[in-house]
Structure 1
Amino acid sequence: MKVLVTGGAGFIGRWVVKRLLEEGHDVWVLDNLANGKLENIAELTSRKNLKEFIYADIKDKQIIRDVFTNKYDICYHLAASINVQDSIDDPETTFANDVTGTFNVLEECRKHNTKMVFMSTCMVYDRAMIDTGIDETWRTKPASPYAGSKIAGENMVLSYYHTYELPTVVVRPFNTYGPFQKSSGEGGVVSIFIKKNLRGETLNIYGDGTQTRDLLYVEDCARFVIEAGYSDRVNGQIINAGLGRDISVNDLALLICNDNEKIRHVPHIHPQSEIPRLLCNYTKANNLLGWEPAVSLEEGIRTTTEWISKNDMDK
């Protein structure tokens, strides 16, 4: 197939691109490099079926029109503003990227009958303390402009399915981690903790550390995202993916550094957007796609630690 991946030079995007190439599809990558990096896809550029890297912004309607003259079968739409704190400090930029930008891409998908897989987030969910995990029917809560923008994007994408019968699907991966994730600033908690531990630095935990996360290894996430694009059964649906196991941030830090003396609790930078417990129920993905995670948390942390120690120690 002919496939467009917006945000394809980002953390999850590069793994989606890699797998699509391995499965034999012709792939175009669009990214403005606000979050992504060319180094993320450097090893993929020799693949003959990586047709083009397009340096462009999804807010530029004319460029998006031109890009869609290739008439793609699927658009994996991952381009977005992704940081919660950035959305609190500058909600306009997050709205422009995650809502207006999504609309621009969606309109071209409609014109060319291109299926859209829209990358959302588990951050749209309200707090839940249920042991069965959060499924897709759980209530949403826009606790940050980031979450609000993603909910708006989801609703627009699903409206095109109901109004125009455009094949669309909303995917909500839980906390994804692994090689190529940023390990500074508001990067992923796993990669930040690993890098600090390798450097012998203190691991800072926001709040009391009892908040839990369901941590999904990035290659499992990429496989989930791609398979949602392949299946007609999920069209018009919202689908979760996660490990189905949660761990407190305190226990995660201890798992990585194995030393309580290296752990410090600090005031939360955005407590209003904190979700006390994130535990994924991925039954729907299993039923409709046959998907389930293959990489355990311990295995994923080992692999990520090896990658960071070789590639990310000086950044």
Structure 2
Amino acid sequence: MKALVTGGAGFIGSWVVERLLREGHKVWVLDNLANGTEENIRSYMNHPRFKGFVLGDIQDKHSLEQLFANEFNVCFHLAASINVQDSIDDPETTFKNDVIGTFNVLEQCRKYDVKMVFMSTCMVYDKAIGAEGISELSPIKPASPYAGSKIAGENMVLSYYYAYGLPSVVIRPFNTYGPRQKATGEGGVVSIFTSKALQGEPLGIYGSGEQTRDLLYVEDCARFVVAAGLSESVNGQIVNAGLGQDITINELAAKICEDPSLIKHIKHIHPQSEIPKLLCDSRKAKRLLGWEPQVSLEEGLMKMKDWMASQL
């Protein structure tokens, strides 16, 4: 198949590119490098099925029109503003990228009848209650402009499924981590903690540290993303993916850092947007896609540590 990955030079996007190439598909990448880097996909650029990297923006309709002339079969739409605090400080930029940008991509998908896989986030949910975790039917809560923009994007994508019959799916991966994830700013907690532990620096935990996260290794996430794009069974659906177990931030810090004296609690930067408990119910992904995570938390943390050590 011919696949476009918007945001394909980003952390998760670059792993989706790798997975698509491995499965035999032709791949194009669109990225403005606001969050991604060309280094993330450099090793794929000479691959015979890697058809092009376009330095461009989803807000640029002309660039999108030229790119979609390639007549893709599927568009994996991962390009987005991704930081919660940035969305609180500057909601307009997040809205333009995550809502208007998504609309622009959707219009091209509609014009060429290209399946749309919309990368949403577990941050749209309210907290998990009970042991079963958060399913696709659990309550949502737009606790930040980032979450609100993602929910708006989801609704636009599903509206195109119902109004135009456009094949599309909304996917909500939980807290994804692994190689190529940034350890700066609001990079994932695993990458930040691992980087600081390797360098003997203090690990700062926002608030009490009793908030929990469901941590999904990036290669498992990429398998899920690609499977959703290649299966008709999830068209018109919202589908979660996660490890299915949660861990407190305090416990995570203790697993990553061998020196307890380096673990510090600091004032939360956005407590109003914190989700106290994130635990994923992925049974729908298993039922419709046959997908299950394959990498345990312990194995994933070791892979992350080895990769980060190699970067120092």
TM-score above 0.5, yes or no? yes
Pair 1:298-2:298 in alignment:
yes
CA shift for structure 1 position 46: 1.3
- Pairs within 5 Å for 1:239-278: 239-278=239-278
Query: Could you say which residue in structure 1 is the equivalent of 2:92?
Result: 92
Query: Could you say which residue in structure 1 is the equivalent of 2:144?
Result: 144
Secondary structure of 1:52 counterpart: strand
- Pairs within 5 Å for 1:180-191: 180-191=180-191
Provide Cα deviations, 1:160-198, integer angstroms capped at 9, x if missing partner. 000101000000000000000001111010010000000
Amino acid at match of 1:167: P
In the alignment, the residues of structure 2 paired with residue 292 and residue 221 of structure 1 have an alpha-carbon distance, to the nearest angstrom, of 10
Secondary structure of 2:155 counterpart: helix
Query: Could you say which residue in structure 2 is the equivalent of 1:126?
Result: 126
Query: Could you say which residue in structure 2 is the equivalent of 1:66?
Result: 66
CA shift for structure 1 position 279: 0.1
In the alignment, the residues of structure 1 paired with residue 234 and residue 215 of structure 2 have an alpha-carbon distance, to the nearest angstrom, of 23
Secondary structure of 2:123 counterpart: helix
In the alignment, the residues of structure 1 paired with residue 249 and residue 106 of structure 2 have an alpha-carbon distance, to the nearest angstrom, of 37
Secondary structure of 2:9 counterpart: coil
In the alignment, the residues of structure 2 paired with residue 130 and residue 165 of structure 1 have an alpha-carbon distance, to the nearest angstrom, of 36
- Pairs within 5 Å for 1:8-157: 8-157=8-157
Amino acid at match of 2:228: A
Secondary structure of 2:69 counterpart: helix
Unmatched runs of 5 consecutive residues or more in structure 1 = none
In the alignment, the residues of structure 1 paired with residue 258 and residue 132 of structure 2 have an alpha-carbon distance, to the nearest angstrom, of 29
In the alignment, the residues of structure 2 paired with residue 211 and residue 219 of structure 1 have an alpha-carbon distance, to the nearest angstrom, of 25
Amino acid at match of 2:133: G
In the alignment, the residues of structure 2 paired with residue 302 and residue 271 of structure 1 have an alpha-carbon distance, to the nearest angstrom, of 30
Q: What TM-score do the two structures reach when normalised by structure 2?
A: 0.99
Query: Could you say which residue in structure 2 is the equivalent of 1:218?
Result: 218
In the alignment, the residues of structure 2 paired with residue 20 and residue 128 of structure 1 have an alpha-carbon distance, to the nearest angstrom, of 32
CA shift for structure 1 position 128: 2.2
- Runs in 1 of length 4+ with deviation above 6 angstroms? none
Amino acid at match of 1:84: V
CA shift for structure 1 position 266: 0.2
Secondary structure of 1:100 counterpart: helix
CA shift for structure 1 position 129: 2.4
The alignment yields a C-alpha RMSD, in angstroms, of: 0.6
Provide Cα deviations, 1:229-279, integer angstroms capped at 9, x if missing partner. 111110000000000000000000000013321100000000000000000
Amino acid at match of 2:162: H
Provide Cα deviations, 1:72-97, integer angstroms capped at 9, x if missing partner. 00000000000001000100000000
Secondary structure of 2:41 counterpart: helix
Amino acid at match of 2:167: P
In the alignment, the residues of structure 2 paired with residue 309 and residue 184 of structure 1 have an alpha-carbon distance, to the nearest angstrom, of 16
Query: Could you say which residue in structure 1 is the equivalent of 2:229?
Result: 229
Provide Cα deviations, 1:43-81, integer angstroms capped at 9, x if missing partner. 111101100000000001111111100010000000000
Q: What TM-score do the two structures reach when normalised by structure 1?
A: 0.98
Amino acid at match of 1:109: C
In the alignment, the residues of structure 2 paired with residue 285 and residue 2 of structure 1 have an alpha-carbon distance, to the nearest angstrom, of 24
Unmatched runs of 5 consecutive residues or more in structure 2 = none
Amino acid at match of 2:35: N
In the alignment, the residues of structure 2 paired with residue 240 and residue 24 of structure 1 have an alpha-carbon distance, to the nearest angstrom, of 25
Seq. identity, %: 67
Secondary structure of 1:70 counterpart: coil
In the alignment, the residues of structure 2 paired with residue 310 and residue 272 of structure 1 have an alpha-carbon distance, to the nearest angstrom, of 37
